[in-house]
Amino acid sequence: MCTGKCADFIGKALIPLAVLSILANILLFFPDGKVEFASEGNLTPQVWFFHGIVGAGLLMFIPALLNTRLDEKGCCGNRCGMLFSVLFNAVGIVGAGYCFIVSITGMVDGPYCNVGNGSWVSPFKNDTISTQYLNLTGNYLFDQDVWGNCVEPNNIVLWNIVLFSMLICFSGAQVVLCATQIINGLIGVLCGTCMKNEVV
C-alpha cells in the first residue's frame, strides 16, 4: 500500500467538501433568497463567523492541494512532504473543527428572525430575552409548531436547520479525513511513502 496514493485520495475528497461548505455558508446569507436581510444585518449571528467559507472552505484547500501532490511521483514521494502533510492537515482539523462548533452553536441557538411587530430576536435561544416571545418546553428542533413564531424571513427555521446540518456533516467528514491523513503522514514519515516490497 502506498501512503502517497492514500494522501491523494484524501486530498481529492477534501476539495468537494470545501466547495460545498463555502456554498452552504454563502446560502445562509440569503434566507428566502433575498439580499435585504444581510444588508440590514438581520441574520443569525453565527452566519457572520464565516465558518464555512474560511474554516471548512478556504483553509481546507491548503491540506487538500498538498495531499493531492504527494502522489505525483508514485512511490518516489519524500518523507519531508509527508511531514508537511501532517502539519497542514492539523491546520485543516482546526478549520473544520471551528466550522463544526459554530454550526452546532447556530443549530442550538436557532435563527434570528422577526417575531412580529418588527421585533428581531433569536426566539429559540435559551435566555431570558427569548422567553418573552415563546413558551418553549422542549427543543425547537423537534417542535415544528413553534417554527411559525418566526414571521420573517419565510421558512428561516428550516433554512437554518438544513444548511447548518450540512455544514456539520461536511466539517465532521473533513475532521475524519484530515485525522486519517495525519496518521497516514506519520506512517509515511517513519516508513517512507511506499510500503510495497521492491523486487531486487
pLDDT mean across residues, the chain? 88
User: What distance lies between CA 54 and its chain's CA centroid?
Assistant: 9
Q: Is the pLDDT of residue 195 over 80?
A: no
The number of distinct structural domains making up the chain is: 1
In terms of pTM, does the model score above 0.95? no
Instruction: Give the C-alpha separation, 64 to 12, whole Å.
Output: 7
CA dist 43 and 122 (Å) reads 10
Residue 169 domain-assigned (yes or no):
yes
Which domain range does residue 41 map to? 3-110+163-191
Q: Is residue 126 part of a domain?
A: no
pLDDT in tens, 130-178: 556 566 666 889 888 889 989 999 999 999 999 999 999 999 999 999 9
d(CA 93, CA 89): 6
The confidence score (pLDDT) of residue 150 equals 92
Q: Is residue 143 part of a domain?
A: no
State residue 198's pLDDT score: 46
> Residue 52 falls within a domain, yes or no?
yes
Rounded to an integer, what is the distance from CA 46 to the centroid of its chain?
12
Cell numbers linked to 128: 431570558
Please report the pLDDT score of residue 193 as a whole number. 61
Q: What is the reported pLDDT for 139?
A: 81
Local confidence band at 127 (pLDDT 50, 70, 90 cut-offs)? low
Cα separation of 2 and 140, whole Å?
A: 48
φ/ψ (deg, to 5) at 136: -95, 120
